[in-house]
Chains A and B, each alone.
With several copies, the nearest count.
Chain A
Amino acid sequence: MNPIVEREKGLLEVARRIDDLRAANANQPVDMSAEIAALEQKYEELQRELFGSLTPYEKIHMARHPERPTALDYISQVESFDELHGDRHFRDDPAVVGGFATLGGRAVMLIGQQRGRDTKENIKRNFGMVTPEGYRKVKRLAHTASRLGLPIVTFIDTKGADPGISSEEHAQSEAIAMCLYEFVQARVPIVATVIGEGGSGGALALGIADHVIMLEHSVYSVASAEGCAAILWSDASKAEEAATRLKLTAADLQRFGIIDEIVPEPLGGAHREPSTVVTRVLESVRRAVQKLSAMTPEALLEERYRKYRRIGAWGTERRETIGTIP
């Protein structure tokens, strides 16, 4: 049960009453404009009250909202897209969609994690949880992009890598590690956007980038709040507290220097005005790609190395002294 979906029910009820009144008003002699205006104001207030400021835990559920735009909602709005399939060995993983695309007049390699937009698609897409075959597709496409000079654009949206038996049997660890290994070496600009939930290593496999964007209410975390609570508090009901502690919101991560840009969402979340959000995100991606394209491959690689090299130098005075013992 998603608390954001629950909360929307009250709002939808008000919206329905407004619609009813409007319909009645058109057919009846009695003027109900005042009542309508009052309800509209109430709707606005309710919306601000419910969604004006979301807690981290609420953002997790916003990120998981069943109507939230998925990777394919973005991909469908680029100028052209030609999907490429498969790991060339074993399987085509539907939880990853990738291929050549035209964005802002430029050819790029698009790669996105795709959860389902309904139950049937969720089963097909394994709820966006990628298997080793999917990560090997990602690695392959990133490698091709690097060879051909095409910028890599990723959309991150996963609870985490698939935790099933066959994924372990097919070396999930190696598959993710090899994605990371490919991304740190890709000789082209990489722009990653967290559009929903960015869960742990399974998300980072598409996340090493020169420019990282997050949607305002998306989350990006080292572990799920539920898993973290179960382990550190030995109490899954502490998930809300864990969500706060984990600092998994876009604002936190921008402050930390882990992400570079936040794309704002409309009041109530991206799914309330999906086309606006999709356009905004694609525009931010386009701008980032354009800016990064001015750099040579060597400069890109050096800057990318330095960026990740710096993370974790906080707090400690990092002296690179090497002491012989004794």
Chain B
Amino acid sequence: MPMPEWLRIRRGKNAEQRDAALWSKCPKCGEVLYRRDLATNLFVCTKCAHHFRMSAYDRISMLIDGDFTEIGSDVATGDPLGWVDKKTYPVKIAADREKAGINEGVVCGIGAIDGCDVALGVMDFHFRGGTMGTVVGERITMLLEEARKRGIPCVLFTASGGARMEEGMFALMQMAKTTAAVARFMQDGNFFVTVLTDPTTGGVSASFAFESDVIIAEPKAMIGFAGRRVIEQTIRQKLPDQFQTAEFLLEKGHIDMVVERHELKATLTRLLRYAADGKRARA
């Protein structure tokens, strides 16, 4: 995977340290993989095809042709409740910034996928478990508004443990805000694709993730509203392994397709071209 110039600047120190580490262990099959080989293979295990969770910038550089114009990167995290649990919220945020090498749970911007203009948003599970707080909601809303203004499609990659509790009801309200932006965007006949990656649950799953024209999921991604543990506690029995996987949801008719990461860019490109053709016909 070639790394564009801008990517190095955005990824931060820790990411470089991660890259420098020689190997990663596959959480599925236990295989020890050279980090460089893993990156070259789009973070898919070369032995068992397990799809590793990806950082937002790795994902973006895997898809975007050249330049990527970021939107809302300076919208910064606030602390509206003055939250404290074992740590204060600002301390947690600072730690995640350092650790994940990004400044919030989603990276949004404008670019092109194989020549097709697109508004792309990528959530990152490494930052606060991909939870949606006001920054995530705000950036996604800004992205959808910009896409609507330009009349270009929007592709959102989801990865989320749900709403971010440390921001209380401000976080929950992001479901409303992003949905309002999605609705305006789609009413104008624009094309909206979501790609559900592991895991996609709670407030993200129950808002924009399932509001799109085409819902793609990565293989074996865990997708659902309620968390597995909550359900198991409620019903007092263990759930089958298959439950809430992408493949399970495909069979149940919830999602349009399960696409392997190696096929993802080509698939997205075809979808964007279908929509572009429809747009031309309507013009």
Interface residues of A (CB under 8 A from B): 80, 82-93, 100, 102, 106-107, 133, 137, 144-145, 147-151, 161, 163-165, 167-174, 176-178, 180-181, 184-185, 200-201, 204-205, 207-208, 220-223, 227-228, 231-233, 238, 242, 245-248, 253, 256, 258, 293, 304-305, 308-309, 311-316, 318-326
The answer to the question of B273 belonging to the interface, with a C-beta cut-off of 8 Å to chain A, is yes
B54 within 8 A of A: no
User: Cβ of B70 and Cβ of A325 under 8 Å apart?
Assistant: yes
B21 on the A face (CB < 8 A): no
The 3 A-B residue pairs whose C-beta atoms are closest, nearest first, are A315-B78, A86-B253, A312-B134
Given that A168-B243, A173-B206, A308-B176 are contacting pairs, would A201 and B183 also be in contact in the complex, using a CB cutoff of 8 Å? no
Given A174-B210, A312-B137: A228 in contact with B6 (beta carbons within 8 A): no
Given A90-B252, A247-B169, A253-B169, A171–B174 Cβ distance below 8 Å?
no
B152 contacts partner chain A, Cβ-Cβ < 8 Å: no
In this assembly, does B226 line the interface, its C-beta being within 8 Å of a C-beta of chain A?
yes
* Contact A245–B234 (Cβ < 8 Å): no
Contact indicator B138/A318 (Cβ below 8 Å) = yes
What 1/0 mask marks residues of chain B from 62 to 98 whose CB sits below 8 Å from any chain A CB?
A: 0000011111111111111101111000000000000
Q: Is the CB of B253 within 8 A of A90?
A: yes
The answer on a CB contact under 8 Å between A150 and B270 is no
Decide: A106 near B277, CB < 8 A? Known: A167-B225, A176-B225, A222-B165.
Answer: yes
Closest Cβ–Cβ distance, residue A290 to chain B (whole Å): 11
What B residues does A304 contact at CB under 8 A?
180
> Nearest residue in B to A163 (C-beta to C-beta)?
B226
B255 partner, pick from A86, A164, A315, A325, beta carbons under 8 A: A86
A-B contact pairs, 24 of them (CB 8 A): A88-B254, A100-B271, A147-B213, A163-B230, A165-B235, A171-B254, A172-B225, A173-B210, A173-B254, A176-B206, A178-B210, A185-B187, A204-B173, A204-B175, A232-B86, A233-B86, A293-B281, A304-B180, A312-B135, A312-B138, A315-B77, A315-B80, A316-B76, A316-B134
How many residue pairs link A and B with beta carbons under 8 A? The number is: 288
Nearest opposing residue in chain B for A89, CB measure: B253
Indicate if the CB atoms of A107 and B282 lie closer than 8 Å.
no
| Extra 14 A-B pairs, beta carbons < 8 Å, given A185-B187, A222-B172, A316-B76 | A82-B270, A84-B214, A85-B255, A149-B189, A164-B231, A181-B183, A200-B163, A201-B163, A232-B85, A293-B281, A309-B177, A311-B134, A312-B133, A325-B67
**B75 CB to nearest A CB, Å:** 5
Contacts of A253 in B (CB 8 A): 169
Complex CA gap A92/B234 in Å reads: 22
B interface, over-half SS: helix
Whether a CB of chain A sits under 8 angstroms from the CB of B101 is no
> Taking the complex as formed, is B55 at the interface, i.e. its CB lies under 8 A from any CB of chain A?
no
B3 at the interface (CB under 8 A from A): no
Asked whether B172 lies within 8 Å of A322 as measured between CB atoms, the reply is no
CB nearest to A304 among chain B residues? B180
A220 x B6 contact (CB < 8 A): no
Interface pair B278/A184, CB less than 8 Å apart: no
* Across-interface contacts of A246 in B (CB, < 8 A): 81, 165, 168
Find out whether the CB atom of B134 lies under 8 angstroms from the CB atom of A172.
no
Q: Does B197 contact A (CB under 8 A)?
A: no
A309 to B178, CA, bound (A): 8
B contact residues around A144 at 8 Å (CB)? 213
Complex CA–CA separation, A150 to B277 (angstroms): 8
B69 touches A221 (CB 8 A): no
In the complex, the answer to whether B203 meets A305 with C-beta atoms within 8 Å is no
